[in-house]
Every structure is written in C-alpha cells, then in structure tokens.
Amino acid sequence: MEALTETLVSSALYVVATPIGNLADISLRALHILEGVDQIAAEDTRHSSRLLNHYGIQSSLISLHEHNEQVRTEELINCLAQGQNVALISDAGTPLISDPGYGLVQRVAAAGYRVIPIPGACAVVTALSAAGLPTDAFTFVGFSPSKAGARKRFFESHAGRQETWVFYESPRRLVASLENLLDAVGTDRQVTIARELTKMHETLLRGELGELVDNLRADPGQCRGEIVVLVNGLPAMEVAALDDDADRLLKLLLAELPVTRAAQIVAHYRDLPRRQVYQRALTLQE
C-alpha cells in the first residue's frame, strides 16, 4: 500500500481530483494527501466539507474561488514559503478543468515550488470512456457560451473538427445549444449526451443529433442535471466537399491571401462553417 505511506513533500502544492458524483470515486492517495496537508484550498468550503467529513478528514479548509483567487494565491505562497504544504480541490473532478486554480498553479510554479498532481475523476474523460465515439484524438472546448450570438459562433467555429470534440453544457441551455449545433453540423452527426455520470440517474444518450434533439424536446426530464456533450468529428471525405462555386472562389482567394483570411471570406460569403472551409483551404494549398 505505497499510497498510504507516502511522505508528503513540504512547500508543495498538491492539485487533487475529487469525485464528480459518486463519493467512492476518490483515490487512496488523494485521501492520504488531503489528510496530511496543512491547508486545503477549496472552491466552496461548505460543499467540500461534505466530502471531507464523509472521510473523516480534518485538515484546515479555506476558500479559493474566482473572486478571491489573487489574494488567496499570495496567502498560500506565504504558507509554502514557511514550509507548509497545500492541497487544491474544486467542487467536483479535476481542479482547473473548467474550475478555478490556473492562477494559483501558475504563480506557485513560477515561484519555484513543486506542483504535484493527484489524478482522479474528470467529467470529460469519464464521458469519453463510455461515449462510443473515437478517442484516438479529441478536443475539449469548455462550456458553450451563455450569450446566443457567441454560442452560435462557437458551434460554427468547431463544426469542421475532424476529431471528437467535447463540451460542458448547462441543463438550462441544452436544447438551445443542440439546436445551434444542429445548424452548424447537420442532423446526422453522431452525438453522445452524458448526463449525471456516476450518479443515480446516470444516462448516456447516443445517436444522430436530429433524433436526439427530437427526443429531448419530447422528454425535458432528460435535460436535467450535469451534462457533457460529445460530437463525432467530421469524416475526412466531407471536409473536402465544398460545392464547385465555393471551391473556385477559395482557389482564387488563396492565390492572393493567407489561408485563414481566404477561408474566412468564403465561409462568410457562402454561409459555410469556417472550420470546414479552412480545412479545405489547407488541402488545396497542399
């Protein structure tokens, strides 16, 4: 049981993953570290107290969230300077993955202290492992934007990806976002919606986007809880398929302009996904 006898490093920041639902999804090593550190910095101390109490961990707990991260970072740097060790946890899963902590980790590393990751649950990776979509390459694109215009552009900008892409979604926006996604990628794209992973109502809905949207409209109960959406990449053949006019215009512009600018103009002029035109432009250049 090497994990339970590990001696903690002084003046180190441990970045510790916690469960995304099921409290049993925490490693022995994570528990050992959380028990042994001088300070635990948590996104929401009340929320994390439930986990820590469940495992009988009594280390001192302070808050670190987006509104106090700068001030707290300096306080924690002082703790490290005095030889203490600190753990960072978030409300769920891996800190820094759509969660606070980037500023702290950057500052601690820049100050020359060790940053030690303690791996564990993360909703993106958990969803990918069961989605049934290719995992040889994937891109995590964070949360979709809350404002309608930005959200539409967000989906258009990712529509031409050839690898699986994954985003976090709020239950309130799920249907609206999937409608934007449908406008950008079409009805027949394979999508998986992973909901309430590791919890009682865990559900993975797999299928063509058009069907999934129809089903969700008919059964709003399927939109509740925490949600990860995974989108199959565009098949390579489709990337090449711009219509003749768009293709001709793209070739003309490529003779005069950089790839990104030429693709931007064609995408805008012909109302096509920018990424798709960009991929085609790269192929033409080759």
Q: How far is the CB of 96 from ligand SAM (least distance, A)?
A: 7
Q: Using CB under 6 A, which of the segments 51-59, 68-76, 93-101, 150-158 binds ligand SAM?
A: 93-101
Angle between helix 244-254 and helix 274-285 axes, rounded to 10 deg: 60
197 binds ligand SAM (CB under 6 A): yes
**Which residue among 196, 208, 238, 247 contacts ligand SAM (CB under 6 A)?**
196
∠ Cα 209 265 258 (to 5°): 115
Q: Which is nearer to ligand SAM, 52 or 92 (CB)?
A: 92
20 binds ligand SAM (CB under 6 A): yes
Q: Using CB under 6 A, which of the segments 177-185, 192-200, 216-224, 276-284 binds ligand SAM?
A: 192-200
Q: Using CB under 6 A, which of the segments 6-14, 144-152, 158-166, 226-234 binds ligand SAM?
A: 226-234
Q: Using CB under 6 A, which of the segments 5-13, 46-54, 57-65, 196-204 binds ligand SAM?
A: 196-204
Q: How far is the CB of 67 from ligand SAM (least distance, A)?
A: 15
Q: Using CB under 6 A, which of the segments 65-73, 103-111, 172-180, 222-230 binds ligand SAM?
A: 222-230
168 binds ligand SAM (CB under 6 A): yes
**Which residue among 48, 94, 144, 177 contacts ligand SAM (CB under 6 A)?**
94
Residue 100 has a CB neighbour count (10 Å cut-off) of 22
Q: Which is nearer to ligand SAM, 126 or 279 (CB)?
A: 126
The residues that touch ligand SAM, with contacts defined as CB under 6 A, are 20-21, 90, 92-94, 97-99, 122-124, 168-169, 194-199, 226-228
